[in-house]
Amino acid sequence: MQKILIVGSNGQFGTELLSELQGKFGYDNVIGSDKKEISNCNSCLFEHLDVLDSKRLEEVIDKHEITQVYLLAAILSAVGEQKPLLTWEVNMQGLLNVLELARSKSLKVYWPSSIAVFGPTTPKKMTPQQTIMEPDTVYGMTKLAGERWCEYYHQKYQVDVRSLRYPGLIGYKSLPGGGTTDYAVDIFHKAINKEVFQCFLSKDTLLPMMYMPDAVKATIDLMEAPKEKINIRSSYNLAAMSFSPSEIYNSILRLEKGFEIEYEPDFRQKIANSWPHSIDDSHARADWGWNHQYDLNSMTEDILKNLKAQSLVNTAS
Ligand code: NAD
């Protein structure tokens, strides 16, 4: 039986991954952990843990007899530009702490990379798996260096570490943690609350995106795939859809008549301009059968339906 530790489980992705893993492996076999003291899941086993504290990380792994670690703790792209040295420390030392324990205790590891590994000199259309990678954000630099470490630990120490380069992740169950694609999460909350949405990217900024259920499915599918199907040990390109702020606005407007948007690009525009428009994820599709389910309109319909149901419950209680 697998015993799973999620590091950074209070975050936007961790919140959704945790409940899916609990459903698959059982309540007692999935342990959430975060630097934040209080867990944001109602029913889960939880440990207060800073991934930079390797002694405490080892204690938690031993206490629960952990066999798999999902390392989600990170500082994201927009916050990273405000705190570059802290971002380097958290994103790099956190990964090295996990990889070292994975080496000595034979743990299986999941670690997410990002389209931020690409930079202004990368081909923007259908960006290939292997291409020019000169990221100019500290976040992108940590993800690129992290990919090299993952491959190194696999080659040199046979650590079974697996990784995906996520595009912008869009969910409605929790608020995002400081990324450049966060506008595509916030926009739904403003639409439901009938407020004007101030978008921090310009209307035609095209970026690769993915609805959270697809990202969760991709992650678990990759971790469950037989070893011999995993040919890439740095990180797999992963894609579902690409859209711009004006395209997601129009998709919402179909269902929320009268919704308004204003564009006020800020420092995040420069980050977005350095990233690809679309991603070639053919290796993930060929190697372990990746297939996405949601496009822009089906995601919009699902998010608005769920947010409306949530606000009805909140009004009633
Ligand atoms: P998030 O910011 O919402 O969550 C990160 C969590 O990590 C937070 O709960 C935070 O408290 C915790 N954390 C931060 N520092 C920590 C530390 N030192 N020790 C323990 N916990 C710590 O981020 P997310 O959106 O859930 O992203 C999860 C992972 O996916 C990250 O590695 C991120 O780089 C990657 N990713 C996310 C996106 C996206 O669009 N959200 C896109 C590409 C890649």
The predicted pLDDT at position 246 comes to 98
At 96, list the tokens.
Answer: 């090295």
pLDDT score of 272: 97
Residue pointed to by tokens 């995106």? 209
Q: Is the CB of 34 under 6 A from ligand 1?
A: yes
Pocket test for ligand 1, best of 5, 34, 49, 96 (most atoms within 8 A of CB): 34
* Strand-strand pairing, 30-34 and 164-166: unpaired
Q: Which helix (H) or strand (E) holds 230?
A: none
Cβ atoms within 10 A of the Cβ of 129, count?
Answer: 16
Distance 257 CA to ligand 1 centre (A): 34
| pLDDT of res. 1 | 86
Residues 141 and 145: their CA atoms lie apart, in Å, by 6
| Residue numbers in the chain where pLDDT is lower than 70 | 316-317
pLDDT for position 40: 81
Task: Look up residue 216 and give its amino acid.
Answer: V
Q: Is the CB of 168 under 6 A from ligand 1?
A: yes
Q: What is the pLDDT of residue 317?
A: 63
With the C-alpha atoms ordered 88, 90, 93, 96, is the resulting torsion angle positive or negative?
A: negative
DSSP 12-32: HHHHHHHHHHHHHH-GGGEEE
Q: Which pLDDT does position 175 carry in this prediction?
A: 83
Q: Cβ distance 306 to 172 under 8 Å? A: yes
Q: Which H helix or E strand runs over 100?
A: helix 94-105
Question: What are 148's two structure tokens?
Answer: 């090299």
